[in-house]
Structure 1
Amino acid sequence: MQPTDALARFRDRLSLPLIAAPMFLVSGVELVVAACRNGVIGSFPTVNCRSPEQLDQWLTDIDDRLKEHSDASGKPAAPVCANLIVHRSNARLEQDLQVLLHHRPEMVITSVGSPAPVLKPLRDAGALVFADVASIRHAERAAAAGADGLVLLTAGAGGQTGWLNPFVFVRAVRAFFDGPLVLAGGIADGHALRAAEALGCDLAYMGTKFIATWESMADARYKEMLAASSADDILLTKAFTGLLTNMLRPSIEAAGLDPDDLPERGAIDIGKDIDIGARENRPKRWKDVWSAGHSVSGVTEVLSVDEMVARTAAEYRNAATRLRLS
């Protein structure tokens, strides 16, 4: 018996099997709307909103603008996907959950913990619940908890990341999970997106390239740094969060720190002002030290979401042609 296609409800609304990844302080209303209008699932962390009230306003604005788009174009937009931090440190978890239940999202991604506590209410509201995982053990636990889909954080993903090779990770999880898989890490173009499908994934994250779009909330200097950087400029470190995190070396240097001489584990708190001795130019909050994935090598300029998705779609078609000719 063939497994049910969990994505069937909105698969025909996607121009690409792609999610604009939820990115801290980067993903906002403009980026989500632009992605969804272009047939890409638009996601954002609920903690990007200052309060549950702002989260409610964001979701209302997004829904209204996408409805206008659908009415004008005659084509329904791709789904909106909220990213919910389920770790106990998120003091707003219950409040944000209630806002999501009110808006009845089609898809929610849980992060930093088991999806179990939020699965039933979100499912009752009609949402598919995906859990992001960074190891095979985490994937097994999320699957056992009943997650509808899994986001596999592999080596090369921006921000807090996994460490497993994507070829190994995807195939290992496919051995015990037949639901939707999302590959996160290293998706720089349509060729990589096609490769993710060949591995056995249904969707993929694209994050770093969406940071370098006009619609993202990222600082203009951040976008310019991405365009000027390559994968060699990515540093994997625990210094800022205590967890493995891919950061831009040039941003660490610009903040007055030495990328080659950082504390080993979570000693630099960029969630608040920090003291690094006599240096005047010290990092203050996440706005000063920036993350990116290995796919930064695919960022060469700042584009609109329209342009970036169109190029990715052309690459995706070209990759399919090459496969047919081989």
Structure 2
Amino acid sequence: MLPPILSALRIPVVASPMFIVSGPELVIAQCKAGIVGSFPALNAREKDGEPPLLDAWLTRIAEELDRHNQANPDRPAAPFAVNQIVHRSNARLERDIEICHRHRVPIWITSLGARAEVNHAAHDCGGIALHDVINDVFARKAIDKGADGLIAVAAGAGGHAGPLSPFALVQEIRDWFDGPLLLSGAIATGRAVLAAQAMGADLAYVGSPFIATAEANAPEDYKRMIVDSGAMDIVTSSLFTGVSGNYLAPSIRAAGMDPDKLDSADPSSMNFGGNAAKAKAWSQIWGSGQGIGAVRDIVPAATRIDRLAAEYAAARAAICG
């Protein structure tokens, strides 16, 4: 059974937090349109000596969604989520946890390591904690450490994608876990959202289609590349972060590299502590999942969500019919 915070969405979709791309504008638009909007805490980067930008972002999101709810009591906004990278190299983690706890963030998404203290902080302020996993072993560890739900990151997902088929991954998790389960991996249409539920997931975790939206914090060339590319344009590599991820081959070529001849990197090279030189070197290498063949234009996020909702309803009607 889904917790109340996830059970009243317009459609069963959580927008995934995307590095750089997800910010307040996109999150607010997603929530107003009826799905959970999210962003990585590390996207809120202030200059040295300035107050935490994360604090300002959370204040803005809460205030704008509150204004929307007061003006639209018949269609309130969906809740929002903040993603915490709990890898040991994230020097900001404790600070960001304190800020999210103070703002009573309703949904916490954790990645790259399960930490009991992060789940405790989420629960202590009335929130829920969802942890993303790429296999059943990590899923069991996350629940053992207090996560409320799981995000199964399957093959084809954007960002740090797992290698397993969504059928296999959801099947193994559902064999023992009956709590909230989200599925990530090439989900770009309402029909795919329904398919995720048919496999056993409660909600779909959708990212790459929202890169090609007006509110996304992405260069226009990146948005256009999403529109112009398809599944065959996605390359899997560990070179850029130390963990296997999916990237747009045209962006790799534009950076002067051959996407078919990329070196590998060891997981020990992962660094979320603000390595500016490395970040700048890979800043034009753009991530994406394999589902972007369904993305054919750049539109406002609300329009994209309207389409997902219409496709989802049509798919349900067709199957029931």
TM-score of the alignment, normalized to the shorter chain, above 0.5: yes
Among 288, 301, 312, which residue is 1:316 paired with? 312
Q: Give 1:249 shift.
A: 0.2
What stretches of structure 1 move > 3 A for 4+ residues in a row?
Answer: 266-274, 283-286
> What is the distance in 2 between the residues matched to 1:163 and 1:49?
30
Cα deviation digits, residues 167-214 of structure 1 (max 9, x gap): 110011001111100101110100000011111111111100001100
Q: How many angstroms apart in 2 are the aligned matches of 1:54 and 1:6? A: 32
CA distance in 1, matches of 2:60, 2:254: 36
Alignment CA distance shift 1:85-1:273 (3 Å): closer
2:4 corresponds in structure 1 to 8
- The answer to whether residue 285 in structure 2 is matched with residue 289 in structure 1 is yes
**After superposition, where does 1:146-295 map in structure 2 within 5 Å?**
146-265=146-265, 272-273=276-277, 284-295=280-291
Separation (CA, whole Å) in 2 of partners of 1:242 and 1:250: 20
1:31 is matched with: 26
Letter in 1 for 2:93: L
Cα separation, partners in 2 of 1:131 and 1:10, compared to 1, 3 Å: closer
Task: Determine the C-alpha separation between the residues in 1 that align with 2:276 and 2:124.
Answer: 38
Q: CA deviation at 1:239?
A: 1.6
Q: CA deviation at 1:7?
A: 2.2
* Partner Cα separation in structure 2 for residue 111 and residue 309 of structure 1: 25
Partner of 1:278: none
- Contact 1:134–1:154 (CA<8 Å) still a contact in 2? yes
SS of the residue 1:160 aligns to: coil
What CA distance in whole angstroms lies between the structure 2 residues aligned with 1:215 and 1:285? Answer: 25
Alignment length (residue pairs):
312
The answer as to 2:55 corresponding to 1:56 is: yes
1:4-43 Cα deviation digits (max 9, x unpaired):
x34224522x111101110000000000000000010000
C-alpha separation in 1, matches of 2:5 and 2:260: 48
* Residues 271, 286 of structure 1: 8 Å contact kept: no
Any conservation in 1 of the 2:109–2:129 contact (CA below 8 Å)? yes
Amino acid at match of 1:142: A
TM score, norm. by length of structure 2: 0.93
Distance 1:62 1:78, change over 3 A: same
The separation in 2 between residues aligned to 1:147 and 1:237, in whole angstroms, is: 29
* Amino-acid identity (%): 44
Name the aligned partner's letter for residue 62 of structure 1: I
Structure 2 unaligned blocks of 5 or more: none
Contact 2:188 2:209 in 1 (8 A): yes
d(CA) in 2 for partners of 1:136, 1:155: 14
Give CA-to-partner distance per residue, 1:34-56, whole Å, 9 cap, x none: 00000100000000011471101
Superposition TM-score, scaled by structure 1 size: 0.92
How far does residue 284 in structure 1 lie from its aligned partner after superposition? 3.4
Cα offset, 1:265, TM superposition: 2.2
Q: Are residues 1:70 and 2:69 paired?
A: yes
Q: Which secondary structure does the structure 1 equivalent of 2:183 belong to?
A: strand
Question: 1:117: how far off?
Answer: 2.2
Deviation at 1:146, TM superposition (A): 2.1
Task: Name the CA distance, whole Å, in 1 between partners of 2:239 and 2:88.
Answer: 22
Instruction: Give unpaired runs (5+ residues) of structure 1.
Output: 275-282
Q: Which residue does the alignment assign to 1:20?
A: 15
Q: Name the CA distance, whole Å, in 2 between partners of 1:220 and 1:7.
A: 38
Q: Partner letter of residue 174 of structure 2? A: R
- One-letter identity of the residue aligned with 2:55: D
1:214 match: secondary structure: coil
State the Cα deviation string for residues 74-99 of structure 1 (Å, max 9, x = none).
Answer: 13210010001111110000000000
Name the structure 2 match of 1:132: 132
